[in-house]
Amino acid sequence: MTEISITNNPHRNGFVLGHRHFAVLHEKCLQKLNLITDSILGIQFGPFFKYGYTENCLEELNINLMFDNKDSYVFAFCAFEHLKILGIPHVIVKDNRLKRSTENDVSCSFCLPKTLEQLDFHSNVRSYNTRRIANLTILRWLNLKGVNMANVTLRDCNGTIYGIENLEYLDMSGFNCRVLSEHLISHFPKLITLIAQDGNLGIGLNTLKDASEFLKMNLDLKHIDLRKNSIKSLPDGFLNHSFRQKLSIILDRNNLQSLPNFPSKPNTFQLISLKYNRISCLSEDDMVKLNKIKPSNIFHRGNPIECSCNTLRFLK
């Protein structure tokens, strides 16, 4: 693999990648390019567009540059027809060509390479946004399997995302899901991992008219991470589905005071993690249910569980 990395340059010398001094790069079949530095003050992608039309060239592109907003670039990523992995912080993306229904709604269509398999679009710090999800359609993303959009905080999650039917991994941590649509992820039938930490789902889940609809189309799910959402309880029917694999569910650092409303079907759970909640006791019914569903592992550290003969015997 032909790889070039420009990282952690201590000198803010202001060179422009694409300058004639870098002409030698234009003759190479560059497969991986990492630009992670604050010394690059500009990028001219024109010289690299030839990689988009050359087989096996520029399959991975990682960009993390400290541009000022006024110097942000619109990247024509569709031109890179063989790109498989794209890492680009949310803060440097600025595309005024998106078609929006209203000023504050994210109801749009946009295009990335049809070969793309992984997109890392996360923000290192929480980026509050006044826009909300209405309906988002992503074109040509049939090969996309992993999306990380952590900390790209939208005003609510009351919408539906279309166009990535083969998605297997989604990190939507930090979304402000106080308002939540039953169909937000209903078009991800192959989703295996859902990470939604710190997203106000304790409020959002209670806004659902029918909580059983939320994961109804995601029967391949295997891992659900709902940490730090101020969840007090899970709504009826939320997990009451015939998942094809045993679930691992993480509910650490919420506001649970009792065992959540898990379905009673055996062989549903591989792992249940309830660490650092406010669970003070396990009732007889709770212990009967846990004995029935028989998760392979259950973690409860950090809860103020009262000691009794029954709970001690069960926790052993």
In a domain, residue 88? The reply is no
Measured in degrees and rounded to the nearest 5, phi and psi for residue 89 equal -60, 145
Q: Are residues 148 and 232 in the same domain?
A: yes
- pLDDT surpassing 50 at residue 307: yes
Residues 186-213 have pLDDT tens digits of: 999 999 999 999 999 999 999 999 999 9
Average pLDDT of the chain is 80
Q: Are residues 58 and 161 in the same domain?
A: no
The residue among 213, 245, 277 that closes a domain is: 245
Q: Are residues 259 and 237 in the same domain?
A: no
Give the pLDDT of residue 232. Answer: 96
The residue among 187, 210, 245 that closes a domain is: 245
Residue 182 confidence class, pLDDT cut points 50, 70, 90? very high
* HEC per residue, 94-110: CCCCCCCCCCCEEEEEE
Give the pLDDT of residue 189. Answer: 96
Give the pLDDT of residue 252. Answer: 98
In total, the chain counts a number of residues equal to 316
Residue with the bigger pLDDT between 310 and 270: it is 270
Residue with the bigger pLDDT between 219 and 22: it is 219
* DSSP of 218-279: -TT--EEE--SS--S-PPTTTT-S--SS-EEEE-TTS---S-------TT-EEEEE-TTS--
Give the three-class secondary structure for 41: coil
* DSSP of 122-179: --SS-EE-S-EEEEEEEET-TT--EEE-TTEE-S-B-SEEES-TT--EEE-TT--TTS
Give the pLDDT of residue 42. Answer: 60
Give the pLDDT of residue 183. Answer: 94
Least confident of 27-31, 155-159, 210-214: 27-31
Least confident of 58-62, 63-67, 279-283: 63-67
267 torsion bin: left (phi>0), alpha (psi -120 to 50), beta (else): left
In a domain, residue 72? The reply is yes
Give the pLDDT of residue 209. Answer: 92
How far is residue 239 from each of residues 129, 177, 216, 278, measured CA to CA in Å? 30, 18, 9, 21
User: What range does the domain containing 138 cover?
Assistant: 98-245
Give the pLDDT of residue 105. Answer: 54
Q: List Cβ neighbours of 253 (8 Å cut-off, separation of 6 or more).
A: 227, 228, 275, 276, 277
* Total of domains in the chain: 3
Q: Are residues 126 and 217 in the same domain?
A: yes
Residues 238-254 have pLDDT tens digits of: 999 999 999 999 999 99
Give the pLDDT of residue 12. Answer: 57
Neighbours of 105 (CB within 10 A): 17
Least confident of 90-94, 126-130, 150-154, 178-182: 90-94
Give the pLDDT of residue 101. Answer: 43
In angstroms, the CA 91 to CA 88 distance is 9
Task: Supply the pTM of this predicted model.
Answer: 0.83
In a domain, residue 179? The reply is yes
Q: Are residues 21 and 120 in the same domain?
A: no
Interval 142-158 mean pLDDT? 85
Q: Are residues 232 and 266 in the same domain?
A: no
The residue among 57, 83, 109 that closes a domain is: 83
Residues in a beta bridge with 273: 250, 299
- pLDDT surpassing 90 at residue 256: yes
Residues 7-25 have pLDDT tens digits of: 766 655 555 555 666 666 6
Give the three-class secondary structure for 25: helix
Give the three-class secondary structure for 81: coil
Interval 172-182 mean pLDDT? 92
Tokens of 182: 């039953």
Residues 91-119 have pLDDT tens digits of: 544 444 344 444 455 455 556 788 899 98
